[in-house]
Structure 1
């Protein structure tokens, strides 16, 4: 049987099993800590088959355990007030402790970085759900709208996610890729291309005129 390490979340003991060098959490412990009244239903409703398995016990029987991804799935779907605290506890205390003591694997990244990444991912997932929901509900042409999603991990108030509807014919891309898109990716008609050429030509003319007007002033300063 794999090693079992107990951790305490308040009054709840949460056991962690090392399996194939990865942490697996005892499902009943997690569900009790999160406030799920029916472990079997919670696991069956929210987790895929590869996110759980039965760990055999030395004395007979087995323990249903869930993976990290399964743990996060339960946390995200829980509406209990303990869910956010539980997620922070797991990412800031449990996982760093396991990695630092060498209970599984060797950390590829700084434990604090891993904890931050987990917290940001949990917050972002919930934010994405709410932002997309709000954008669709507010959309005037909601059956055909496209939406642009932005994520800012370094916002002062914490990770933020925004979703907004964009026009059907809108092209969203960096300016550095614009010329390549015009050349072979964007589907546009000849009239649109001619208008683009005309606009670019006019812009170059304005720039040249401004440069010509500024040249005498710069020359006089040199003299």
Structure 2
């Protein structure tokens, strides 16, 4: 599946570069970048950390479909991408005391702040 807006964008995410690509007018984040920035062990890949996400929150892309995501010299042939909801779920499950903030995407918060309806407070 090739995205229609395959321009690579990057964000500083906990001091690491986080790769982002637009897919169906929504930002999708490289799962390994997110996991690495949260200090998650990647020796066995990202699968362990993505188990709690729904299938609609994981987009598998290949070097053929999204070459812009693969750095020169990388031997990886595929990778997983996450939408904003998947990004926030990983942040909420991380061991970091406070999840990082991504410029332009607001602040990661969970439904625990508003258990009645899960809405975020107005800023």
TM over 0.5: yes
Q: 1:152 to 1:10 in 2, by over 3 A?
A: closer
- TM-score normalized with structure 1 length: 0.40
State which structure, 1 or 2, has the greater radius of gyration over its C-alpha atoms. 1
User: Unmatched 5+ residue regions in structure 1?
Assistant: 96-114, 130-148, 159-223
Q: Tell me what 2:27 maps to.
A: 23
Q: 1:74 to 1:10 in 2, by over 3 A?
A: closer
**Which structure would you say has the larger RCO, counting Cα contacts within 8 Å and 6 or more residues apart?**
2
Shift of 1:75: 1.2
Q: Aligned match of 2:50 in 37, 43, 48?
A: 43
Q: How far apart, CA to CA, are the structure 1 residues paired with 2:10 and 2:55?
A: 24
Q: What RMSD over aligned residues (CA atoms) do the two structures have, in Å?
A: 2.8
The structure with more helix, counted as a fraction of residues: 1
The structure with more strand, counted as a fraction of residues: 2
SS at 1:42's partner residue? helix
Q: 1:71 to 1:10 in 2, by over 3 A?
A: closer
Number of equivalences? 105
Q: Aligned match of 2:15 in 11, 32, 35?
A: 11
Shift of 1:47: 0.7
- TM-score normalized with structure 2 length: 0.68
Q: Aligned match of 1:79 in 88, 92, 95?
A: 95
Q: How far apart, CA to CA, are the structure 1 residues paired with 2:112 and 2:61?
A: 31
Shift of 1:10: 4.0
State whether residues 114 and 120 of structure 2, in contact with CA within 8 Å, keep that contact through their aligned partners in structure 1: no
